[in-house]
Amino acid sequence: MQTIPAPVAQLIETLAELPGVGRKTAARLTFFLLRDKSDLAARLATALQELRERTRFCSVCYNITEDDPCPICADPSRDHATICVVEEPLDVIALEQAEVYKGVYHVLHGVLSPSEGMFVENLRIGELLARVRKGGVREVILATNPTGEGDWTAAYLVTQLRPLDVRVTRLGRGLPVGGDLEYADVVTLTRAMEGREEV
Measured distance between the N- and C-terminal CA atoms of the chain, rounded to whole angstroms: 65
Judged by CB under 8 A, does residue 82 bind other proteins?
no
CB of 115 to other proteins, least distance (A): 4
* Contact between 93 and other proteins per CB under 8 A: no
By CB under 8 A, the count of residues binding other proteins is 26
Distances (CA, A) of 175 to 5, 64, 80, 152, 186: 52, 31, 30, 21, 11
Choice from 159, 194, 197, 199 touching other proteins (CB under 8 A): 159
Cβ proximity to other proteins: between 23 and 133 the closer is 23
Per CB under 8 A, the segment of 16-24, 55-63, 75-83, 131-139 that binds other proteins is 16-24
The residue ranges of DSSP E strands in 17-145, in sequence order, are: 56-57, 64-65, 79-86, 103-107, 139-142
Interaction of residue 4 with other proteins, rule CB under 8 A: no
In angstroms, rounded to a whole number, what is the distance separating the alpha carbons of residues 154 and 174? 17
Distance CA 144, CA 156 (A): 12
Q: Is 160 in the site for other proteins (CB under 8 A)?
A: yes
d(CA 128, CA 53): 26
Give the x-and-dash track for 130-149 against other proteins (CB under 8 A).
------------------x-
Q: Which residue from 138, 147, 137 is spatially nearest to 171, judged by alpha carbons? A: 147
What residues make contact with other proteins under the rule CB under 8 A? Answer: 16-17, 21-23, 26, 112-115, 119-121, 148, 151-153, 155-156, 159-160, 182-183, 185-187
